[in-house]
Amino acid sequence: MKFTNRISCKLKLGAFLGAVSLLTSGLTHAAKEIEVGVLFSQTGGLSIVEKSLASATLMAIEEINAKGGVNGMVIKPLVEDGASDPKTFNEKVSKLVIRDKVATIFGGYTSASRKAMLPVVEKRNSLLFYPTFYEGFECSKNVVYTGAAPNQQLNNYIPWLVKNLGKKKFFIVGSNYLYPKEMAKVAKTLIEENGAEWVGDEYLALGHSEWSSMVKKIKDSGADIVLSNVVGGSIISFYREYANQGISQKDIPIASTVTSEIEVAAMGGKFAAGSYTSFPYFQAVDTEANKAFIERYRAYTKDETAVTHHAMESAYSGVYLWAKAVSKADGIKPNEIMEATKGVSFDAASGTMTVSADNLHTSMTPRIVQWNEDARGTIVDEFSAPVIPLPYAAYGETAGNLFCSESGLDSSKL
Amino acid sequence: MLDTILIGLSLGSILLLVALGLSIIYGSMGVINMAHGELVMIGAYSTVLAQIHMGLSLFAAIPLAFVVCFALGLLIEKFVVRRLYGRLFDTLLATWGVAILLQQAIRLEFGLSFFGIHIAGLGPGLQSVKVPDLLSEPIFIGEFLIQPYRAFIIIISILLAVITWLLMYKTRMGQQIRAIMRNKDMAAACGINVRKVNALTFAYGAGLAGVAGVMMSGFKTVMPDMGSSLVVDGFLVVVVGGVGSLVGTIVASGLLGQVNGIFAALSNDIIARAIVFGVVIAIIIWRPQGLLNYKGR
Amino acid sequence: MLKHDHLRIAAYAIFIVTVLSLPVFFDEFWLNRASKYLVYGMLGIAISLCWGYAGILNLGQGLFFGAGAYMLGMSLKLASPTSLQQGGAGPVPDFMLWNAEPGAVTDLCCINSGSYLWLPFQSQAFGFIMAIVLPVLLAFILGSVMFRKGVSGVFISIITLALVLLVRLLVVDAQALTGGFNGLTDLGGLTFGGYEFDPYSVATYYLAAVSLILILLGTRLLVNSRAGLVMQGIRDDENRAKYLGFDAAAYQTFFFCVSAAISGFAGLLYVVTSEFVSPTFMDLAFSISMVIWAAVGGRGSLLGACIGAIVINMLGATISESEVFVESWQAIVGLFFVLVVLFMPNGMAGVVHGWCRRLTTKSSKSEIGGQLQ
């Protein structure tokens, strides 16, 4: 009984603290601060990648603050933990939006976590900066996508694999969820358009690490290239089993849309050597800007061997794009920032990134890398100019025929 | 067809590797150790750390991981499990808490990351282990492929099963364990130091998990939450095999491995896994005491 | 003895008054969060009823929770603007379009081979009712088979555990039908006679609060009824109860079903408060967490288990939101679990019962289930 009382005390205290923080946040605006949420998984299975996204976001915020902030305002990040669980993402995002009333949230890695955040962000008219490459098919007025859309990963990739490597038979393999399945759909169209064929399309549960049967299937299928949309820890056991079953990356290379510096470093260059990945950014991008970026990141994380990768570079650049938008926005309400985000661009380590006024996705420069024994990549192909994002590419969207524009989604085109 | 059976055998041997330690602990002590998967994970990390910091090969890591997990097992037994004998479900919950703690310990580098200290090989990242050349190059016999590493796992798991059998049936210690399994109070009355025997049994089971971890590290991704799915699989094997039956555990892991391998070849891995769960449910309903049981429960 | 009962009534009364008066103190964020935790409180009650009173440890309670959530979620999905604007005659969930074969008819009846199953969910009442009926049906089938076959103890836990993993796997795999790993998102609101429940409103909070109170009182009456007493007798000594002529399996199945109904209803309310459905509701870790909430609160006490669920989640959220513990909060929660199981075998309710006993007569007997093997 005593404890029931104590609990009600605690609840009151919680409400009280909430009220206090509301009050103080009101005060701090006067003291020139702008609060943003940083919501990635600090714990749980996905923290492997998401911690690096959080670090990159915080590093960008720190850099901007060091230069005097944005419009004289100091950016104040509120860091929350999504715990690799959509339920937690949903709860924390509502804390950030409704209680803390942050101007913007930087966060999310998996589509599942984004989908869990969307209802709160959209109904409350807040603003989310989502840094990950994803499957497309979204036309939200409340999300700025700074990662690659499917066309920015595949449209150059498949033709290059067919024409330059002379590959004719694709085996498509992925983790069992939306992103790999949508990527497979886009890829199939492109494969057929380029005069090749696909001989298999198979999925494994997320986190699955027993590849013996699948690799055997690949071997028996007669494929001469594998398109992998496998994500997470499964990637490493996949490449390993591939070598263990005696398949050489020279004969049947794996061409991936997910395998980044993180996974290659973890599996050891030996297993990845000869395989390919397509992203707009690689650590191997040979520019002074990128070298400086890598150095700053390593200093920031106090880790001499820290790797940079596409999603984290997008997370970092996203903050700069946002800061540019804030500096020209009419105010710091989420929708004012969103309006100002349209068309802003930033010279990122990966080249110029511009937020499309139509679909709030970002144009960027697709690249293809071939991995070497030393776990570094060599860029083997690069677009000469940034490519416009097409989130509905799988359904026939083209640059001249946008499905998602400033007026919203034209569902009659679907 | 032969390849499919070989794949099934390999899957089964991995199940056996995980289930063996669980089976001993559950069979003899009535303790459901949900931290078993995390002990496997610790074994895998021992291999990673031994390779990075001491330059030890995978072979040398086997005894090392055994010792590390044995010691950890003693600690868990002393501070947690010992207080919960006879409270089956409470052991399940408490060891689940231990599992969370172990995972977080690795993820936070034993809490040192809080002070900005980083230990190479720990942390939330993905790790992997080099496999000795001897075991990594596939061997072709004509068209037929043999993966030496998978063969090595099969051999090790059989070896461990044999050693465990010898321990249980040919040593004084094993006799005492079996006496405790039959009737704990009677065994105590006959002068067996139940506490000590239980502590050693638990530690031995934990040590086996450590060895399993070394084997896993050679072909799976080493990461802090690699163990959570393993414990479920291992536990299903133990229950299907029959509580306390070593032979049952071996038979069950072989059976489930083959079911998994065959259906993965016929359809896909997801269906195969679903069928494995289905088979387990059917077997438990059909024979709640397990395929081969040692004692009624 | 009488005095002890008075104390219990007082405890229930304080809890009820507290729950009902919270909106006075709360802003909309805390209201929403509190209604989620009240839903978790229902899960605590379901576990306590099943485990503490019937002796059945279900490690797959998430199956019933998830089933309830998906049933209502399907209805709300069809009510969502994203489903209505697809151009066809009736609503079609957007994810079905993504997963459709090229050239498929964009109609709910036949966009894919299983989509006709969604047709009745155009009625929200149907989804609402199914959110309770489906879990009960599942529990009834499962329970009849298990309990008739004499499966007991840890084997029930294993079967339920394997089953929830099996269903989760299938739900994720059937992406075209279920939304797969992302679950159901962009849901419409629950409407009752023209009133739409906004998840951040006081109305939604009271929906959860009143439901929780009714469930709490209902289960309280149930365990004190003849059936409840027989059930506890079966829990303590199944064979003796059978010799006395009680159909143990029937009682077990019944309690299993009641527990499933509560979980299904909790799943339904969770969807209303959080606006999405995800297969992670059927994660093993979530199901085990529920059991731990009940263990911490006190499995032998309905109110204790309910408060346990609320307090742990409150605690976890508070710790995880303090800057110092943002990385280590899970370890702290893990340690807390271990310590409670070790040193408070009957949970917080056990401790309170101990105090009450000291306050009242020494002769009054504890009603805690205690040593359940």
Q: Do A244 and B272 touch (CB under 8 A)?
A: no
In CATH, the architecture of A151-279 is 3-Layer(aba) Sandwich (3.40)
Confidence of residue B262 (pLDDT cuts 50, 70, 90): very high
Closest CB from C285, C327, C331 relative to B101: C331
Tokens of residue C7, six digits = 């104390």
- With a CB cutoff of 8 Å and minimum separation 6, the contacts of A252 are A218, A223, A224, A225, A226
Q: Rounded to 5 degrees, what are φ and ψ at C122? A: -65, -20
**pLDDT value of position B130:** 85
pLDDT band of residue B108 (cuts 50, 70, 90) is confident
Q: How far is CA B269 from the centre of its chain?
A: 22
Chain C 290-309, residues with CB within 8 Å of chain B CB atoms: 291-292, 295
Q: For C298, left (φ over 0), alpha (ψ -120 to 50), or beta?
A: left
By C-alpha distance, the chain B residue nearest A51 is B124
- With a CB cutoff of 8 Å and minimum separation 6, the contacts of A127 are A103, A104, A105, A121, A142, A143, A144, A334, A335, A337, A338
> What is the pLDDT at residue A31?
53
Contacts of A263 in chain B (CB under 8 A): 126
Instruction: Please state the rounded mean pLDDT for residues B85-110.
Output: 88
Does A43 contact C10 at a Cβ distance shorter than 8 Å?
Answer: no
Q: What is the mean pLDDT of residues B256-275?
A: 92
Whether B69 and B43 have beta carbons less than 8 Å apart is answered as: yes
CA distance B46 to B54: 11
* CB proximity C337 to B under 8 Å: yes
Residues of chain B in Cβ contact (below 8 Å) with chain C: 32, 34, 80, 83-84, 86-90, 92-94, 96-101, 104-105, 108, 111, 113-114, 228, 232, 235-236, 239, 270, 273-274, 277-278, 280-281, 284-286, 288, 297
**CATH-assigned architecture of domain A33-149+285-365:** 3-Layer(aba) Sandwich (3.40)
B189: exposed, middle or buried (Cβ count in 10 Å: 0-12, 13-18, 19+)? exposed
**DSSP string over C135-164:** HHHHHHHHHHHHHHTT--THHHHHHHHHHH
Chains meeting C at 3+ CB pairs closer than 8 A?
A, B
Asked if the Cβ–Cβ distance from C181 to A412 is below 8 Å, we say no
Distances (CA, A) of C110 to A414, C107, C177, C275: 17, 6, 11, 27
Are the C-beta atoms of residues C107 and C307 closer than 8 Å to each other?
Answer: no
d(CA A397, CA C163): 42
- For chain B, domains (ranges, CATH) are 1-112+139-286 (1.10.3470)
Question: Is residue A184 packed enough to be buried (19+ CB in 10 Å), middle (13-18) or exposed (0-12)?
Answer: buried
Kindly report the length of chain A: 414
pLDDT tens per residue, chain A (414 residues)? 334 343 444 444 444 444 444 444 444 444 589 999 999 998 877 887 898 999 999 999 999 999 999 988 999 999 999 988 888 999 899 999 999 999 999 999 988 899 899 989 998 899 999 999 999 888 899 999 999 999 999 999 999 999 999 999 999 999 998 899 989 988 999 999 999 999 999 999 888 888 989 999 999 999 999 999 998 888 988 999 998 888 999 999 999 999 999 889 888 888 999 999 999 999 999 999 999 999 999 999 888 888 999 999 999 999 999 999 999 998 899 999 999 999 999 999 999 999 999 999 999 999 999 999 988 899 999 988 899 999 988 888 888 888 988 888 887 777
Does residue C135 have a pLDDT over 90? Answer: yes
Q: Is the CA virtual torsion C358, C363, C364, C366 positive or negative? A: positive
Edge-first strand listing for the sheet containing A367-371: A197-204, A169-175, A225-229, A254-256, A276-279, A367-371, A377-382
Do β-strands A345-348 and A351-355 pair in parallel, antiparallel, or remain unpaired? antiparallel
Residue range B208-215: mean pLDDT, rounded:
95
Q: Please give the angle made by the CA atoms of B196, B201 and B205, to the nearest 5 degrees.
A: 150
Q: Which pLDDT score is estimated for B142?
A: 75
C-alpha C266/C-alpha C272 separation (Å) is 10
pLDDT of residue A11: 42
Predicted confidence at residue A27, as pLDDT, reads 45
Tokens read off for A145? 């996508």
Amino acid (1-letter code) at residue C76: L
Residues of chain C with C-beta less than 8 angstroms from the C-beta of B108: 327-328, 331
Chain length of chain B: 297
pLDDT at A336: 93
Closest-CA distance of chain A to residue B60, Å: 21
Chain C nearest C-alpha distance from B144 (Å): 33
The closest CB to that of C342, out of B80, B105, B278, belongs to B80
Separation of alpha carbons A193 and A198, rounded Å:
12
Q: Are B291 and B248 in contact (CB under 8 A)?
A: yes
Cα distance between residue A320 and residue A57, in whole Å: 9
C112 or B163: which carries more pLDDT confidence? Answer: B163
Q: What does the pLDDT read at residue C195?
A: 87
Torsion angles phi and psi, residue A89, rounded to 5: -55, -45
Is residue B50 within 8 Å of B217, Cβ to Cβ? no
**How close, in Å, is residue B22 to chain C by CA atoms?**
14
Residue B44 contacts residue B211 (beta carbons within 8 Å): no
pLDDT at res. C85:
64
pLDDT at position C361 is 60
Question: Domain limits of chain A?
Answer: 33-149+285-365, 151-279
Torsion of CA C37, A123, A145, A321, to 10 degrees: -100
In this structure, are residues A75 and A61 in contact, taking their beta carbons and an 8 Å threshold?
A: yes
The residue extents of the domains of chain C are 6-282
When computed from its CA atoms, the radius of gyration of chain B, rounded to whole angstroms, is: 19
**Sign of the torsion angle spanned by Cα atoms B106, B110, B112, B118:** negative
The closest CB to that of C172, out of A42, A99, A176, belongs to A176
What letter represents residue C242's amino acid?
K
Asked whether the beta carbons of A129 and C285 are under 8 A apart, the reply is no
- The pLDDT assigned to A13 comes to 43
Percentage of chain C exceeding pLDDT 90: 54
User: Can you tell me whether residue C213 is helix, strand or coil?
Assistant: helix
Predicted confidence at residue C363, as pLDDT, reads: 45
The pTM (predicted TM-score) of the whole model is 0.89
Question: Binning pLDDT at 50, 70 and 90, where does residue C150 land?
Answer: confident
Average pLDDT of the segment spanning C266-295: 93
Closest CA to A285 of A383, A201, A195: A383
C-alpha distances in angstroms, C93 versus A390, C66, C129?
A: 22, 19, 21
The rounded Cα A173 to chain-centroid distance in angstroms is 20
Residue with tokens 């997801």: B270
Chains within contact range of chain A (3+ C-beta pairs < 8 Å): B, C
Q: What is the mean pLDDT of residues B159-163?
A: 94
